[in-house]
């Protein structure tokens, strides 16, 4: 994770200084891109999310109070944007992008292990896309973004207990759906 952005830089960007804005984008873009990609799994959609996030953030810079991390503010804006899009329509991420991104992440003992893992992950991703927007976002922030329940609660502006409830229900739902998908396709259970 990149070093925290100084609020002085944010203040200069709010004043309209072009070099400060560039520095702010350069310092936060990679994390924001990763967050958007973990949520939507499509490069074109992630790009749109990132652009809209900065547009909203720059419009609100003047009213920001220097508390907490600026990156947390950006994450909240991006997550809300993704939630708005999900509420309008079902996500369209390609399962192959999930599978491809994770292929080299883990040193697999055997090829069969890797194949089994890939099947399970693809089924899980398919099941995740059927979740309602808020539990889906909580699940992806928790697993993909590796945030704690408390951090997810802060980003989504809900109590920690709500996040735990969402995660519990989402896990059960994804487990059932993934098993159904795997059984339906004739794949062997792990």
Interface residue list for another protein (CB under 8 A)? 14-16, 18, 21-22, 25-26, 29-30, 33-34, 37-38, 41, 43, 47, 50-51, 54-55, 58-63, 97-102, 104-106, 117, 120-121, 124-125, 139-140, 142-144, 146, 148-149, 164, 167-168, 171, 174-175, 178-179, 189-190
Joined tokens for residue 187: 């794949």
60, 46, 6: which is closest to 28 by C-alpha?
A: 6
* Nearer CB in complex with another protein: 63/186: 63
Please give the backbone phi and psi of residue 121, each rounded to the nearest 5 degrees, phi first. Answer: -65, -40
50, 148 Cβ separation under 8 angstroms: no
CB of 88 to another protein, least distance (A): 22
Task: Annotate 45-81 with DSSP letters as a single string.
Answer: HHHHHHHHHHHHHHHHGGG--S-S-HHHHHHHHHHHH
């Amino acid at each position: 994770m990149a070093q925290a952005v100084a609020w002085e830089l944010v203040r200069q960007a709010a004043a309209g200084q072009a070099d400060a804005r560039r520095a702010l984008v350069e310092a936060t873009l990679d994390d924001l891109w990763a967050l958007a990609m973990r949520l939507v799994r499509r490069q074109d959609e992630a790009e749109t999310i990132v652009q809209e996030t900065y547009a909203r953030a720059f419009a609100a810079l003047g009213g920001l109070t220097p508390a907490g991390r600026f990156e947390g503010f950006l994450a909240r804006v991006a997550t809300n944007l993704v939630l708005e899009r999900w509420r309008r329509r079902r996500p369209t991420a390609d399962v192959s992008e999930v599978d491809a991104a994770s292929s080299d992440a883990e040193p697999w003992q055997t090829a069969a292990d890797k194949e089994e893992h890939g099947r399970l992950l693809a089924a899980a991703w398919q099941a995740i896309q059927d979740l309602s927007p808020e539990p889906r976002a909580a699940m992806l922030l928790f697993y993909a973004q590796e945030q704690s329940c408390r951090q997810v609660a802060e980003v989504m502006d809900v109590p920690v207990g709500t996040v735990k409830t969402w995660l519990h229900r989402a896990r059960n739902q994804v487990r059932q759906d993934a098993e159904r998908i795997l059984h339906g396709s004739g794949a062997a259970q792990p």
